[in-house]
Amino acid sequence: MQDKWSIDGHSGGKMQKQLTLVEQAFSTLCQTAFAPSKPPMTYIQRAKNLVGYIMGLRFMDKQFFKSRDDILKPILGENFNVMEKAKKSTFFFVNIDEHLEFPRPISHKTIYVGGIGQVQPKPLEKVCNFF
């Protein structure tokens, strides 16, 4: 039976948050993009960043992806685990333009294919002629 999540060892996604979670499954260093404090930091600021990061991993990610899991469970079964499938995949295609992505270390399995499914833009109309 053809697997519904990955086809021949390839999986796909299009959200930056999803990319971050999958890279965590690949054991890639992922730092938070928007930390409340920046270097040089005091001990208290470092502790706040660490606690905020852990709280985000444990609680916010579950809330963001609860709806995804609720949608996938009836289709793929109760025992379906997205992270396990991502770990087993050979590549992870991401619909993000790599030149616009926040620079950070990524997994060697990540392949950027930005622009898939986008329509061609229409030329703008001239609204103002006097400049």
Q: State the SS3 of 51-99.
A: HHHHHHHHHHHHHHHHHHHHHHHHHHCCCCCHHHHHHHCCEEEECCCCC
9 has pLDDT over 50: no
| pLDDT at res. 28 | 47
The pLDDT tens digits of the residues spanning 50-76 come to: 888 788 777 776 776 677 777 888 888
Position with higher pLDDT, 129 vs 21? 129
Residue that wins the pLDDT comparison between 25 and 125: 125
pLDDT at 2 over 60: no
Average pLDDT over residues 32-37: 56
